[in-house]
Structure 1
């Protein structure tokens, strides 16, 4: 005997944005939904497809369709970088889920594949017909995997989907889940047929059904303890009723000012009843300690059938409402998603805000020991705040809370009235055509790197703020073995050329920089040559950039590597970073750079570091001098360099972010500190969390 619930999933596909498009041509999004029973995939079947009237677009070459257990959107003709398409299609899926008590949180799984077929010019209808009918012409260019949590609780949730392979696409979807019917199923089909044909009495059949269902829901004894009954009752009846009330409340809120408001008046209000038995218990608590199994089962299923019948009748009404107010539903659920993600990130962020008269007062640091203790304390905690996790989440993008990087944020301010803004301004913004704001952000790669190294950060910046113009600098590709002075000159020339070619003086409003590793030093080397833009400087963020050089490196292996590069490879930049380019340390390039102009004109400054990164000394990346380095023979020099840099910073706040990664297992890269260094530009969640922590920089 099994007890199953019929589940209807309404999937609303919103808009698609091709942030980074490497292949021009036709794109289709293919969706499949399934559940798992004993590790066996049970597909959900799509059966109704709706193309909303306002979704007509020249980019759609042929309509979406349902094929077996897959739903395919309209074919989209994409040609340009940062192109957007309003898909606006709805598909309804049907499936069944076991409702055994231990299956009450059974999840659904959705797979979305990005299919591609080359098409360089708009084809004639007969050619498009061939492409439409021949699925072999399409290849998979991206795959996203989502989990729909606790569908028996009913839900409505927004979910962004990211494809991050050759292309970088952002897709917006909303999922709505309804429980519409409950069924008993006999495990032995022959026994079920015999029972149905030989049972002449309806009541006996019903009693047999309840008896069998009771065996599934409750323990083996004939009498059910009141506590056990209430536990199952709340998991099933009350939970499903609350699910209906949540979706009803959403409909009332999203259609309050629309002509379709009269449709919402047809929705029954169950909140008055709050489940019949549950309400009765509040008025007159039962004195019985036990219930018979049949009685307990009958109470539960009579109410389940009552509620599910309402949901079944309500589904067409809801789809009608969704067609009339799709964007209102989207906006409301998007805001809820942003809040949930912000709460999830906050579980992995520790803030410390301080007021200082002078930033240079903070050059001596105890951060190393403090952060080690905070990290250990945080890892000892177990987070089970399921309420903050979105009900639908892309599992191959978001790890669990215990796998997210831990951020330790020290925020310094010269203003006593400064308040660190932790309000949620929204990580995900609606996909729409937005005019560029005239704010250019240059991304500079590190030693031995290329512009492609910064591609992921560029894509994440484009999601976080769609009005930015983001440029991956290329002028020092293949030249990072040379003199940092020359690198700075080449990059300054690249900035000047870009500004003159793409912006007139009145359209360029702001210039900002993000530098990774050596890239942060290259930016500082270029600043004195960019004086014509000083009044337009926005923010400056460095990721593991050794501003005080590598003198205080704690890794013997990394020191040995630098020595090899410096001595045998004649790498000038490594010689400069290790401050061995001059006999007099005060004449070294890095010390002279600490006195250079430019950094004082930035409105916001942030230094990002990691204790696990051994390639770039932790204190050096934070422009601090640790206790060990201070006691060394070069402590005084490092202290003066830190003071020189910090004294120039005039921004209202200075943020230092320490990222701690939760690696699984041991590896050589992790042991030598390379893994953490690479994660600075490869860890998608870290990039998003850093941008969110620095969200005031983009205002």
Structure 2
């Protein structure tokens, strides 16, 4: 059946464009005088399934258009190069790629997705031509690059497969190539469709300006497009219009000079980028013919001075005065000469790219990651604060009457509510974004740049740690010595850790990186999948555990939930350690945790369990997303507090009693007070606390582990207990003198205008859930600080 389908689809694919690809006998028209086209080449490396929920057949369709409506022409597929021939004998592929003349689109061959983390190599480059026609050169309009994810279910008898794929796209992702980038661009472009179709398509985009009709068809073409395939472009179809005599030019000498200058700029950019790529991947590109034919030996030896320096008497076209002084015949000759140079360089690049595909893609990906840190800083505000040594109670506490050097007194009233102040600060920054003119040459992701004002804002506060207090030096969770570990009961997980300790530095350099994700109240183990998917992109080699043991069990005692999580984590670690030990061993473990809401309390409780003790020295990054670390001792959301009261009275939820400190009449015997005395945060190398001033479900100060305004004027025992809890938590975060710890508080300000005015936004639930329904904030944070997530 599959072979029959391939035959049918192959016949269906013979659209007029495909026929032109397979028929090279037609004589091309003469190249148009002073006509240029915008060429954008898109290389599709692979399709990587991160988190598709539905198996089936998938296909990627690509179209291209001008952003400015005055540019009526669309990008037309010009040529296709299949770098590696697909395995047509495999049941995971059907047919070949397609070109549709009606909508000027290119579609990859359909491929089958069966499981998560599946890689599908595509290895195809498609070049689009966008004619510039009567418009200014360089173009003043951006180009919109559109990727569509098409899906069809598993084939059944009589099922119209291609019609199902073409019906409606499952998801769309668009990118914008700004006018500055159209003259010369080589960029990585990750296509990550949406939260429900979490895939990564590794793509690179390459753009330049060429003289119209620069390509001539090859004499023979393979049906599988194993070599360069040329399609008649729009310029050839309109050659009767564009073959104008220079004296009859409709747009005057100024346009002709602009065309020549655009080609000169594009040529310089292309040569520089080609040399940079050659140097970066340590592969030589052969430009001998180019240098010898174009008389550019001096230019090649000093590329930093551009191509305008000539050692053999060739005219320097670099200045407007020289260009204006040229006769029309010389201008035409110069245009033709520079266009030939540019065409030669472009084809040299395409050949070089095909020979070094993977290395170029990896280099461009690293450059993309570095550039995004600067670009995404538009939506991020960075601050640095000093962590106080120690908070002291004020008021009736006698100790507060004495001056204590190096400590912070909270006797003075805090006038501004911290949550309101943070929200106001974010809105002020959002208004400043509205006045920005983002004008660069980098590809812009339209999921972010499509509506910049609706993108979440991040205020990142890096806390500089104060000296570590020596009073807490005797810690139950201090790093274990291998000798101490061997004396503990030899449970299976402890024996596994001892394998690592015995391995020492002589073992291979592999590191077992494990990340554990823990959901919140009445949550699901996939609640944090969007954060996990971003982590996968940052660190593809990590192992991920989406905790399931507490699903439908989050109303009970935190101690029981923590015990279940500890058992789940140690069992997972034991399996991974045994597997890596059999395949050559490893030298270290990095154990990270991500929690949402009360999932953070479950994590901290699990770390107090004895079975976790041997692994505490390997704790690496802790990402807390809206976690109530100080409980609800001071919660100002009256509606939410009423809901908690109902849960306690009607449902008897033990964890709610613990969160609100009603699990014991003596506050010093409550669960949270005791938890804060345990050193659950001390061993992490990196601690990031995410909060939102819009989140009404978790007190702002509790998510940030900072001073509460109400506690500063509470002279009762409750105020004293809160300050003790706060100091105990901060003492764990302060770095010892021998170790550096990263500690950041990060406020996320969501645009909730799309939610409207409803109960969810009023009580603060919208922002609490928004952490689970968007990944842009995680993308900004994780790509800005990748060293914390690798």
TM-score by length of 2: 0.70
Q: Does 1:258 align with 2:301?
A: no
Alpha-carbon shift at residue 77 of structure 1 (Å):
4.2
Q: In the alignment, what sits opposite 1:395?
A: 446
How do 1:305-320 residues align onto structure 2 when only pairs under 5 Å count? 307-320=338-351
SS in 2 for 1:350: strand
Q: Does 1:85 align with 2:120?
A: yes
SS in 1 for 2:560: helix
Alpha-carbon shift at residue 260 of structure 1 (Å):
4.3
- C-alpha separation in 2, matches of 1:462 and 1:74: 26
- C-alpha separation in 2, matches of 1:555 and 1:643: 24
Pair 1:500–1:330, CA change in 2 (3 A)? closer
Q: In the alignment, what sits opposite 1:460?
A: 534
Q: Does 1:546 align with 2:628?
A: yes
Q: In the alignment, what sits opposite 2:604?
A: 524
Pair 1:305–1:261, CA change in 2 (3 A)? closer
Deviations 1:230-276 (A, max 9, x none): xx899765454323211221112323553642467359569343998
Q: In the alignment, what sits opposite 2:374?
A: 343
Q: In the alignment, what sits opposite 1:477?
A: 551
- C-alpha separation in 2, matches of 1:298 and 1:629: 84
- Bigger drift between 449-458 and 162-171 goes to 162-171
Alpha-carbon shift at residue 51 of structure 1 (Å):
1.5
How do 1:590-605 residues align onto structure 2 when only pairs under 5 Å count? 590-605=672-687
Aligned residue pairs, count: 632
SS in 1 for 2:462: strand
How do 1:282-297 residues align onto structure 2 when only pairs under 5 Å count? none
Q: In the alignment, what sits opposite 1:667?
A: 757
Q: Which one has a larger percent strand, Structure 1 or Structure 2?
A: 1
Question: 8 Å contact 2:46–2:119 — kept in the other structure?
Answer: yes
The match for 2:593 among 498, 505, 513 is 513
Q: In the alignment, what sits opposite 2:93?
A: 61
Question: 8 Å contact 1:22–1:166 — kept in the other structure?
Answer: yes
Alpha-carbon shift at residue 208 of structure 1 (Å):
4.6
How do 1:7-86 residues align onto structure 2 when only pairs under 5 Å count? 7-36=38-67, 38=69, 42-53=73-84, 61-62=93-94, 64-68=96-100, 69-86=104-121
Pair 1:402–1:362, CA change in 2 (3 A)? farther
Q: In the alignment, what sits opposite 1:684?
A: 775
Deviations 1:641-688 (A, max 9, x none): 111222233552322112222444543233332222122232211011
Deviations 1:495-543 (A, max 9, x none): 1332234433866823221110111111112111122322222222211
Q: In the alignment, what sits opposite 2:264?
A: 241
- C-alpha separation in 1, matches of 2:257 and 2:774: 41
SS in 2 for 1:553: coil
The match for 2:251 among 206, 213, 218 is 213
The match for 1:441 among 506, 515, 523 is 515
Q: Does 1:655 align with 2:744?
A: yes
Pair 1:643–1:89, CA change in 2 (3 A)? same
Pair 1:446–1:176, CA change in 2 (3 A)? same
How do 1:117-516 residues align onto structure 2 when only pairs under 5 Å count? 117-118=152-153, 134-136=162-164, 140-150=169-179, 152-181=182-211, 206-209=246-249, 212-214=250-252, 238-255=261-278, 257-258=282-283, 260-262=285-287, 265=290, 271-273=306-308, 279-281=318-320, 307-354=338-385, 358=389, 368=419, 371-372=422-423, 374-382=425-433, 384=436, 386=438, 391-396=442-447, 401-414=452-465, 437-504=511-578, 509-516=589-596
Alpha-carbon shift at residue 599 of structure 1 (Å):
2.3
Q: In the alignment, what sits opposite 1:642?
A: 726
Question: 8 Å contact 2:150–2:165 — kept in the other structure?
Answer: no
Deviations 1:442-497 (A, max 9, x none): 11111121112111111111111112111111111112222222221222222133
Alpha-carbon shift at residue 101 of structure 1 (Å):
5.0
Q: In the alignment, what sits opposite 1:628?
A: 710
Alpha-carbon shift at residue 598 of structure 1 (Å):
2.9
- C-alpha separation in 2, matches of 1:175 and 1:438: 34
SS in 2 for 1:95: strand
- C-alpha separation in 2, matches of 1:195 and 1:26: 43
Unaligned runs of 5+ in 1: 184-191, 197-201, 218-228, 418-434
- C-alpha separation in 2, matches of 1:401 and 1:276: 46
- C-alpha separation in 2, matches of 1:693 and 1:194: 51
Pair 1:524–1:165, CA change in 2 (3 A)? closer
Q: In the alignment, what sits opposite 1:188?
A: none
Question: 8 Å contact 1:413–1:654 — kept in the other structure?
Answer: yes
- C-alpha separation in 2, matches of 1:32 and 1:163: 15
Question: 8 Å contact 2:183–2:266 — kept in the other structure?
Answer: yes
Question: 8 Å contact 2:557–2:655 — kept in the other structure?
Answer: yes
SS in 2 for 1:451: coil
Alpha-carbon shift at residue 631 of structure 1 (Å):
1.6
- C-alpha separation in 1, matches of 2:645 and 2:330: 78
Pair 1:585–1:238, CA change in 2 (3 A)? farther
SS in 2 for 1:333: helix
- C-alpha separation in 2, matches of 1:676 and 1:436: 39
Question: 8 Å contact 1:398–1:685 — kept in the other structure?
Answer: no
- Bigger drift between 268-277 and 158-167 goes to 268-277
- C-alpha separation in 1, matches of 2:409 and 2:144: 50
- Bigger drift between 498-507 and 531-540 goes to 498-507
Deviations 1:153-194 (A, max 9, x none): 3422220001335442111111122222369xxxxxxxx999
- C-alpha separation in 1, matches of 2:289 and 2:379: 40
Q: In the alignment, what sits opposite 2:148?
A: 113
Alpha-carbon shift at residue 578 of structure 1 (Å):
1.9
Q: In the alignment, what sits opposite 1:225?
A: none
- C-alpha separation in 1, matches of 2:91 and 2:443: 28
SS in 2 for 1:462: helix
- Bigger drift between 252-261 and 5-14 goes to 252-261
Question: 8 Å contact 1:29–1:73 — kept in the other structure?
Answer: yes
Pair 1:358–1:303, CA change in 2 (3 A)? farther
Pair 1:472–1:555, CA change in 2 (3 A)? same
* C-alpha RMSD of matched pairs (Å): 4.1
Q: In the alignment, what sits opposite 1:96?
A: 131
Pair 1:654–1:36, CA change in 2 (3 A)? closer
- C-alpha separation in 2, matches of 1:329 and 1:362: 54
TM-score by length of 1: 0.78
Question: 8 Å contact 2:84–2:124 — kept in the other structure?
Answer: no
SS in 2 for 1:503: helix
Question: 8 Å contact 1:263–1:317 — kept in the other structure?
Answer: no
